[in-house]
């Protein structure tokens, strides 16, 4: 049986989609079913991670970088 401390250590993997073993995932779910403190923690962590993803600038594609470099080469 997991303790709350174990859940907080594994919660980031659960939230960011890091693969967990079937056993780890099941143990986490069983704990979350019974412990509303950890459910709240995971929910807050998930909200934080998703808000950070929105704030993160989108990566620039290689095509865009090539276009900008080509445009710069053409300028006198
Ligand atoms: Zn707990």
Residue with tokens 């710069």: 72
* pLDDT per residue as tens digits for the range 5-48: 999 998 888 887 888 899 998 999 999 999 999 999 999 998 88
Query: How many whole angstroms from 50 Cα to the centroid of ligand 1?
Result: 22
State which residues form the domain around 27.
4-74
Query: How many whole angstroms from 31 Cα to the centroid of ligand 1?
Result: 6
The count of domains in the chain is: 1
Is residue 34 a contact partner of residue 64, using CB atoms and an 8 Å limit? no
Report CA dihedral (68, 72, 75, 76) to the nearest 10 degrees: 180
Residue with tokens 């470099």: 69
Checking if the pLDDT of 58 tops 70, the result is no
Query: How many whole angstroms from 28 Cα to the centroid of ligand 1?
Result: 9
Residue 53 confidence (pLDDT): 77
């Amino acid at each position: 049986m997991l303790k709350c401390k174990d859940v907080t250590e594994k919660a980031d993997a659960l939230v960011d989609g890091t693969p967990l073993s079937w056993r780890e995932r099941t143990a986490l779910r069983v704990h979350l079913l019974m412990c509303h403190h950890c459910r709240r923690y995971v929910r807050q962590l998930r909200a934080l991670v998703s808000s950070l993803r929105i704030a993160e600038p989108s990566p620039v594609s290689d095509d865009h970088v090539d276009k900008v470099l080509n445009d710069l080469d053409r300028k006198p």
